[in-house]
């Protein structure tokens, strides 16, 4: 089955930039989506189709993809950005949906 | 505004059954593909299964760990999607989220309902 690997944790100071990677085999051929999940809450879509922001998501959130990795970048990080972040793809081989292992972002 | 509200969670013994419900509003429910996603305590997100719109065939597909035990159905007249869970195991303990789908991603999520499988 398809696997997406993320770093378990990322720490960042307020106002700085955090980058969260998502690695998977041949991920360049897949559309990558990203979710933010704050403690005790349901996930929220923050990036779809690699780099598109849904309405209401701040421009500080951006996505990119290169080689076998996708990256979610949080610019000018705020305390309120502290959350778990998950990448997700659709695996066409199985017609199933796969989530990454998740990254906990801590704002120092 | 899109709203998804799950219900039906609770405590059940191993081997037991439970049916979760999800009511959608604020969108054309009959046209939507719907999924269930779960999250075990302290763990990450895991896709459980999906049901297509009736226009697209209305079929359901499931993740390997639940295939043959879980069944997703829908009642478009009531804007409801259901997750029937049979032969429950302790490892099925999780918060279960209902999610509306847009193409290959989940654009709206419910607040979740907790299922605890314990002797």
pLDDT digits (tens, 9 = 90+) for B38-66: 999 999 999 999 999 999 999 999 999 99
Residue A67 pLDDT exceeds 90:
no
Closest CA to A81 of A17, A7, A4, A5: A17
CB-based contact A42 B105, cutoff 8 Å? no
What would the mean pLDDT of A16-44 be, rounded to a whole number? 97
H or E segment to which residue A46 belongs: strand A44-47
Give the torsion sign (CA, B63, B68, B72, B73): positive
Instruction: Write out residues 11-30 of A within 8 Å (CB-CB) of B.
Output: none
User: Taking a C-beta distance cutoff of 8 angstroms, is the pair B34, B23 a contact?
Assistant: no
> In terms of C-beta density within 10 A (0-12 exposed, 13-18 middle, 19 or more buried), how is residue B42 classed?
exposed
User: Taking a C-beta distance cutoff of 8 angstroms, is the pair B32, B100 a contact?
Assistant: yes
CB-based contact B104 A43, cutoff 8 Å? no
d(CA B49, CA B39): 13
B63 vs A contacts (CB less than 8 Å): 96
Residue B113 pLDDT exceeds 90:
yes
CB-based contact A101 B44, cutoff 8 Å? yes
> In terms of C-beta density within 10 A (0-12 exposed, 13-18 middle, 19 or more buried), how is residue B12 classed?
middle
Angle at B108 between CA B107 and CA B111, to 5 degrees: 150
Give the whole-number percent of chain A exceeding pLDDT 70: 100
Separation in Å, CA of A101 to nearest CA in chain B: 6
**Among B50, B63, B105, whose Cβ lies nearest the Cβ of A88?**
B105
**Average pLDDT of the residues of chain A:** 96
What would the mean pLDDT of A69-93 be, rounded to a whole number? 97
Radius of gyration of chain B (CA): 13
Residue A78 pLDDT exceeds 90:
yes
């Amino acid at each position: 089955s398809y696997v997406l690997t993320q770093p378990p944790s990322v720490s960042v100071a307020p106002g700085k930039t955090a980058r969260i990677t998502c690695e998977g085999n041949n991920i360049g051929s897949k559309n990558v989506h990203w979710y933010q999940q704050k403690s005790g809450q349901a996930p929220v879509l923050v990036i779809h189709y690699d780099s598109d922001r849904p309405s209401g998501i701040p421009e500080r959130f951006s996505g990119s993809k290169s080689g076998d990795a996708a990256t979610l970048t949080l610019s000018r990080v705020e305390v309120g950005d502290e959350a778990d972040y998950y990448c997700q793809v659709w695996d066409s081989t199985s017609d199933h949906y796969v989530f990454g292992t998740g990254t906990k972002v801590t704002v120092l | 505004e899109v709203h998804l509200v799950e219900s039906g969670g609770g405590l059940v013994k191993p081997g037991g059954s439970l049916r979760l419900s999800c009511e959608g509003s604020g969108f054309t429910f009959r046209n939507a593909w719907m999924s269930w996603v779960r999250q075990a305590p302290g763990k990450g997100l895991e896709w459980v299964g999906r049901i297509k719109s009736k226009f697209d065939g209305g079929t359901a597909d499931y993740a390997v760990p639940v295939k043959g035990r879980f069944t997703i159905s829908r009642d478009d007249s009531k804007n409801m999607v259901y997750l029937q869970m049979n032969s429950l195991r302790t490892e099925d303990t999780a918060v279960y989220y209902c999610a509306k789908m847009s193409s290959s991603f989940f654009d709206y999520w419910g607040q979740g309902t907790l299922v605890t499988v314990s002797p």
